[in-house]
Amino acid sequence: MSGARFLNDVVTGTSGMQILLEDPSGNPIELFEPILSKATLRSSGEVVAWDFGAHNG
């Protein structure tokens, strides 16, 4: 039995990078790496500040 297999190529968007893979049981798994390390939100969900920390990628 083999390990996980990738279902698509890496997709890069304004919020980060994403790829889908399938585990040995056939379950899809999303791997997501945000571009920004942290966002500060108000209780309404509105983003009010960004932390542009170092990006390892």
Q: How far is the CA of 25 from the CAs of 2, 35, 48, 56, in angstroms?
A: 10, 30, 41, 31
What are residue 56's phi and psi, to 5 degrees? -95, 80
- 3: confidence class by pLDDT, cuts 50, 70, 90: confident
Query: pTM for this one?
Result: 0.54
Place of tokens 């049981």: 25
Contact 16, 33 (CB under 8 A): yes
**What pLDDT is stored for residue 14 in this prediction?**
81
Tell me the per-residue pLDDT of 16-54, one tens digit each, with 9 for 90 and over: 899 999 998 999 999 988 876 565 556 665 655 555 555
**What pLDDT is stored for residue 22 in this prediction?**
93
